[in-house]
Amino acid sequence: MSSVLPWPRRPISNVYDAAYSGVPNWDIGRPQSAFVQLADAGLVRSPVLDVGCGTGELTLYLARQGYDVLGVDLSSLAVSQAREKAHWRRIPAQFVVLDALDLAALADRGFSFRTVLDSAMFHVLGDEERDRFVRALETVVERGGLYCVLGDVRRNSDAVYGLTPAELRRRFGDGWTVVFSYEAVFERRWSSNPAHFVGLRRR
Protein backbone atom coordinates (compact mmCIF):
# COMPACT_ATOMS: atom_id res chain seq x y z
CA MET A 1 0.00 0.00 0.00
CA SER A 2 1.33 3.44 -0.84
CA SER A 3 1.95 5.69 2.13
CA VAL A 4 -0.08 8.58 0.72
CA LEU A 5 -3.33 7.91 -1.11
CA PRO A 6 -3.95 10.05 -4.22
CA TRP A 7 -6.52 12.78 -3.63
CA PRO A 8 -6.49 16.31 -2.22
CA ARG A 9 -6.27 16.65 1.53
CA ARG A 10 -8.81 18.76 3.36
CA PRO A 11 -7.45 22.21 4.30
CA ILE A 12 -7.76 21.22 7.98
CA SER A 13 -4.81 18.87 7.43
CA ASN A 14 -2.52 21.90 7.44
CA VAL A 15 -3.86 22.87 10.87
CA TYR A 16 -3.02 19.44 12.25
CA ASP A 17 0.40 19.42 10.61
CA ALA A 18 1.06 22.70 12.41
CA ALA A 19 -0.11 21.20 15.72
CA TYR A 20 2.19 18.20 15.30
CA SER A 21 5.18 20.45 14.66
CA GLY A 22 5.13 20.63 18.45
CA VAL A 23 3.41 18.30 20.93
CA PRO A 24 -0.35 18.94 20.93
CA ASN A 25 -2.25 18.81 24.20
CA TRP A 26 -4.10 15.64 23.17
CA ASP A 27 -0.90 13.68 22.49
CA ILE A 28 -0.27 12.17 25.92
CA GLY A 29 2.41 9.62 24.93
CA ARG A 30 0.20 6.59 25.55
CA PRO A 31 -3.23 5.34 24.49
CA GLN A 32 -6.33 6.64 26.22
CA SER A 33 -7.22 4.43 29.21
CA ALA A 34 -10.69 3.66 27.82
CA PHE A 35 -9.16 1.78 24.87
CA VAL A 36 -6.70 -0.15 27.04
CA GLN A 37 -9.64 -1.31 29.15
CA LEU A 38 -11.55 -2.22 25.99
CA ALA A 39 -8.70 -4.45 24.83
CA ASP A 40 -8.32 -5.95 28.31
CA ALA A 41 -12.02 -6.85 28.21
CA GLY A 42 -11.48 -8.82 24.99
CA LEU A 43 -13.70 -6.57 22.86
CA VAL A 44 -11.04 -5.66 20.28
CA ARG A 45 -10.77 -8.12 17.39
CA SER A 46 -8.39 -8.06 14.45
CA PRO A 47 -8.11 -6.62 11.94
CA VAL A 48 -8.32 -3.21 13.62
CA LEU A 49 -8.48 0.27 12.11
CA ASP A 50 -7.40 3.24 14.24
CA VAL A 51 -8.96 6.35 12.63
CA GLY A 52 -7.34 9.70 13.41
CA CYS A 53 -4.38 7.83 14.89
CA GLY A 54 -2.19 10.90 15.40
CA THR A 55 1.35 9.88 16.34
CA GLY A 56 0.21 6.32 16.78
CA GLU A 57 0.20 5.48 20.49
CA LEU A 58 -3.01 3.41 20.31
CA THR A 59 -1.95 1.64 17.11
CA LEU A 60 1.47 0.88 18.57
CA TYR A 61 -0.02 -0.43 21.82
CA LEU A 62 -2.34 -2.81 19.99
CA ALA A 63 0.33 -3.97 17.55
CA ARG A 64 2.62 -4.78 20.46
CA GLN A 65 -0.23 -6.86 21.94
CA GLY A 66 -0.36 -8.89 18.74
CA TYR A 67 -3.30 -7.24 16.96
CA ASP A 68 -3.32 -6.73 13.20
CA VAL A 69 -3.87 -2.97 13.18
CA LEU A 70 -3.66 -0.09 10.71
CA GLY A 71 -3.45 3.54 11.81
CA VAL A 72 -4.67 6.32 9.51
CA ASP A 73 -4.51 10.09 9.88
CA LEU A 74 -4.90 13.03 7.51
CA SER A 75 -1.79 14.70 8.96
CA SER A 76 1.30 13.53 7.10
CA LEU A 77 3.48 14.91 9.89
CA ALA A 78 1.65 12.86 12.54
CA VAL A 79 1.98 9.72 10.42
CA SER A 80 5.68 10.38 9.92
CA GLN A 81 6.14 10.63 13.67
CA ALA A 82 4.11 7.44 14.21
CA ARG A 83 6.31 5.53 11.77
CA GLU A 84 9.41 6.81 13.50
CA LYS A 85 8.08 5.58 16.86
CA ALA A 86 7.32 2.18 15.33
CA HIS A 87 10.86 1.98 13.95
CA TRP A 88 12.64 2.87 17.18
CA ARG A 89 10.36 0.69 19.34
CA ARG A 90 10.66 -2.17 16.84
CA ILE A 91 6.90 -2.61 16.61
CA PRO A 92 5.49 -3.89 13.28
CA ALA A 93 2.72 -1.29 13.05
CA GLN A 94 1.43 0.10 9.78
CA PHE A 95 0.41 3.74 9.17
CA VAL A 96 -1.12 5.48 6.15
CA VAL A 97 -1.87 9.13 5.40
CA LEU A 98 -5.61 9.02 4.80
CA ASP A 99 -8.61 11.23 5.50
CA ALA A 100 -11.08 9.20 7.56
CA LEU A 101 -13.88 10.63 5.41
CA ASP A 102 -12.40 8.64 2.50
CA LEU A 103 -12.30 5.17 4.03
CA ALA A 104 -13.86 3.78 0.86
CA ALA A 105 -10.35 3.99 -0.63
CA LEU A 106 -9.36 1.20 1.77
CA ALA A 107 -12.40 -0.86 0.77
CA ASP A 108 -11.43 -0.39 -2.88
CA ARG A 109 -8.10 -1.99 -2.02
CA GLY A 110 -9.76 -4.98 -0.37
CA PHE A 111 -9.49 -3.92 3.26
CA SER A 112 -12.18 -4.63 5.84
CA PHE A 113 -12.07 -4.46 9.64
CA ARG A 114 -13.73 -6.17 12.58
CA THR A 115 -12.92 -3.28 14.93
CA VAL A 116 -12.61 0.46 14.28
CA LEU A 117 -11.32 2.66 17.10
CA ASP A 118 -11.80 6.41 17.19
CA SER A 119 -9.92 8.34 19.85
CA ALA A 120 -11.38 11.86 19.60
CA MET A 121 -11.70 12.09 15.82
CA PHE A 122 -15.49 12.08 15.39
CA HIS A 123 -16.02 14.76 18.01
CA VAL A 124 -14.19 17.43 15.95
CA LEU A 125 -16.06 16.78 12.66
CA GLY A 126 -18.62 19.20 11.29
CA ASP A 127 -22.27 18.29 10.91
CA GLU A 128 -22.16 17.08 7.30
CA GLU A 129 -18.77 15.46 7.82
CA ARG A 130 -20.25 13.25 10.54
CA ASP A 131 -22.82 11.79 8.18
CA ARG A 132 -20.15 11.36 5.52
CA PHE A 133 -17.95 9.52 8.00
CA VAL A 134 -20.75 7.11 8.92
CA ARG A 135 -21.25 6.29 5.24
CA ALA A 136 -17.50 5.83 4.79
CA LEU A 137 -17.33 3.60 7.86
CA GLU A 138 -19.94 1.27 6.42
CA THR A 139 -17.65 0.53 3.47
CA VAL A 140 -14.94 -1.01 5.67
CA VAL A 141 -16.65 -2.43 8.78
CA GLU A 142 -17.68 -6.07 8.48
CA ARG A 143 -21.16 -7.22 9.51
CA GLY A 144 -20.90 -7.78 13.25
CA GLY A 145 -17.93 -5.41 13.42
CA LEU A 146 -17.54 -2.87 16.22
CA TYR A 147 -16.94 0.90 16.06
CA CYS A 148 -15.82 2.43 19.36
CA VAL A 149 -15.56 6.18 19.81
CA LEU A 150 -14.22 8.30 22.68
CA GLY A 151 -15.10 11.97 22.52
CA ASP A 152 -15.64 15.02 24.67
CA VAL A 153 -19.09 15.55 26.12
CA ARG A 154 -21.00 18.21 24.17
CA ARG A 155 -21.37 21.05 26.64
CA ASN A 156 -23.65 23.26 24.56
CA SER A 157 -26.71 21.82 22.80
CA ASP A 158 -26.28 24.40 20.02
CA ALA A 159 -22.67 23.41 19.35
CA VAL A 160 -21.37 20.79 16.92
CA TYR A 161 -18.14 20.04 18.81
CA GLY A 162 -18.32 17.07 21.16
CA LEU A 163 -20.79 14.24 21.03
CA THR A 164 -23.75 12.63 22.76
CA PRO A 165 -24.89 8.99 22.73
CA ALA A 166 -28.28 10.13 21.41
CA GLU A 167 -26.63 11.78 18.42
CA LEU A 168 -24.66 8.61 17.64
CA ARG A 169 -27.84 6.50 17.75
CA ARG A 170 -29.52 8.94 15.36
CA ARG A 171 -26.66 9.28 12.92
CA PHE A 172 -25.83 5.59 12.76
CA GLY A 173 -29.48 4.54 12.42
CA ASP A 174 -30.99 1.08 12.10
CA GLY A 175 -27.88 -0.50 10.61
CA TRP A 176 -26.04 -0.29 13.93
CA THR A 177 -26.75 -1.30 17.54
CA VAL A 178 -25.31 0.46 20.59
CA VAL A 179 -23.59 -2.23 22.67
CA PHE A 180 -22.14 0.01 25.35
CA SER A 181 -22.26 3.67 26.33
CA TYR A 182 -20.79 5.17 29.45
CA GLU A 183 -19.18 8.27 30.85
CA ALA A 184 -15.40 8.33 30.66
CA VAL A 185 -12.50 10.78 30.62
CA PHE A 186 -10.53 12.11 27.66
CA GLU A 187 -7.02 12.68 28.97
CA ARG A 188 -4.83 15.53 27.79
CA ARG A 189 -1.27 16.49 28.69
CA TRP A 190 -2.33 19.33 31.01
CA SER A 191 -5.97 18.57 31.69
CA SER A 192 -8.79 16.10 31.19
CA ASN A 193 -12.36 16.41 29.96
CA PRO A 194 -15.57 14.49 30.67
CA ALA A 195 -16.17 12.21 27.71
CA HIS A 196 -18.51 9.60 26.31
CA PHE A 197 -17.23 6.17 25.31
CA VAL A 198 -19.66 4.45 22.95
CA GLY A 199 -19.50 1.18 21.04
CA LEU A 200 -21.76 0.45 18.08
CA ARG A 201 -21.98 -2.90 16.31
CA ARG A 202 -22.84 -3.14 12.64
CA ARG A 203 -25.82 -5.40 11.93
Q: Is residue 121 part of a domain?
A: yes
Q: What's 31's domain CATH number?
A: 3.40.50.150
Domain of residue 192 covers 23-202
Q: Is residue 125 part of a domain?
A: yes
Predicted local distance difference test score (pLDDT) of residue 17:
80
Measure Cα distances from 22 to 15, 17, 86, 93, 99 in Å.
Answer: 12, 9, 19, 23, 21
Give the DSSP H or E segment for 143: strand 141-152
Main-chain phi, psi angles of 135, to 5 degrees: -65, -40
Using one digit for the tens of pLDDT, what is the confidence trace for 6-60? 444 455 778 878 888 888 888 999 999 999 999 999 999 999 999 999 999 999 9
Q: Is residue 160 part of a domain?
A: yes
Q: Is residue 197 part of a domain?
A: yes
DSSP conformation class of 170 = H
Give residue 106's identity as a one-letter amino acid code.
L
Mean pLDDT, all residues of the chain: 93
Pairing of strands 94-97, 113-119: unpaired
Q: Is residue 13 part of a domain?
A: no
Q: Measured between alpha carbons, how far is 102 from 54 in angstroms, rounded to an integer?
A: 17
Q: Is residue 8 part of a domain?
A: no
Number of domains within the chain = 1
Q: Of the candidates 40, 101, 94, which has an alpha carbon nearest to the alpha carbon of residue 69?
A: 94
Which pTM does this prediction carry?
0.92
Q: Is residue 73 part of a domain?
A: yes
Q: Is residue 12 part of a domain?
A: no
Using one digit for the tens of pLDDT, what is the confidence trace for 124-173? 999 999 999 999 999 999 999 999 999 999 998 888 999 999 999 999 99
Long-range Cβ contacts of 82-89 (<8 Å, 24+ apart): 82/53, 82/54, 82/55, 82/56, 83/56, 85/55, 85/56, 85/57, 85/60, 86/56, 86/60, 89/60, 89/64
